[in-house]
Amino acid sequence: MKLDFGLPTPLEYFETLVRRDEPRLLLEAAISLGQDVDPQLDVQGALYQFERMLKLLRDCVPWGSDGAQRLTILNQFFYVDLGYGGNHNDFFHPDNSYLHRVMDTRRGIPISLGVLWLELAHGIGLHAQGVSFPGHFLVKVQLPQGLVVQDPLTGRGLSAVALSERLEPYQEAWGLEGEELPPMGMFLQPASHRDILERMLRNLKAIHRQQSDDAMALAVINRLITLTPSNWSEYRDRGLVRMEHGERRDAIQDLQTYARHAESAQDLDMIEEQLAQLRAGL
């Protein structure tokens, strides 16, 4: 019997990290996304870089400090001492979403900064969670004194009024113009690790498609399908990218998968037309 001791591909490695119903290794899985843009990325080296950062933080936390004190120390350490913040000069650059590059530049977007901040918070014993808030990923910490919701770009706490103001632009899109929004608690539900990874990948997909970088968009879509295999729209999008690049058989397979499972989709007629053209070209 021939044994294969070859290294896993980046996608196979990612699959091992997200195979569970709830992936436990959020940081490792998030860092591994960078293997698409940097094939030689040393994921374990990036994890070690984070561990050194966490050790520095732990050295700043006095023995016996309570949750509120630890939160203050964390924000001082992350945003002031290390200088992490938003890349306001080039907010939509892909590097802002790849954690190994965020750790090098200390610039990111809410969700990439939020993942690093959350992992540091957990490392000093804070009960912190991510929040898939509309438009802008947030983080929250449960303290004995109450719930603290923060903007991961700045570390600033957000009041109930500030949170409501952030929801106002979405009221019309939701058909709630002039009506009261649902209770704020609905928007502050904790995001699972799978939710966070999916949101990171969707950000990257949108950025790469906007930049017409189909090769990178395809790599991201492959990860999305690995992470959420029953999200049929991803098969459609992968099929359309493959069709643009002349990969007819693979495109047909993806578009057929979408058509078979998305029976009531509004774009189904268009997809059937695309399939007919692809089949005619074989």
> Average pLDDT in the 181-195 region?
89
pLDDT score, position 8: 86
Model confidence at 280, pLDDT cuts 50, 70, 90, reads: confident
- In this prediction, residues 173-194 reach a mean pLDDT of 79
Residue with tokens 């395809």: 218
Check residue 57 and give its pLDDT.
Answer: 98
Q: Considering only CA atoms, which of 77, 82, 84, 105 is closest in space to residue 93?
A: 105
Triad 98, 138, 186: Cα angle to 5°: 135
Pick 88 or 59 by higher pLDDT.
59
pLDDT of the residue at 21: 67
Cα separation, 145 vs 59, in Å, equals 25
112: pLDDT strictly greater than 90:
yes
Report the percent of the chain where pLDDT is more than 70: 93
Q: How far apart are CA 97 and CA 108, in angstroms?
A: 6
Q: How confident is the model at residue 23 (pLDDT cuts 50, 70, 90)?
A: low
Q: What is the mean pLDDT of the chain?
A: 91
Total residues found in the chain within this entry: 282
Q: How confident is the model at residue 177 (pLDDT cuts 50, 70, 90)?
A: low
User: Looking at residues 191-200, what average pLDDT do you find?
Assistant: 96
263, pLDDT greater than 60:
yes
**pLDDT tens digits, 153-166:** 999 999 999 998 88
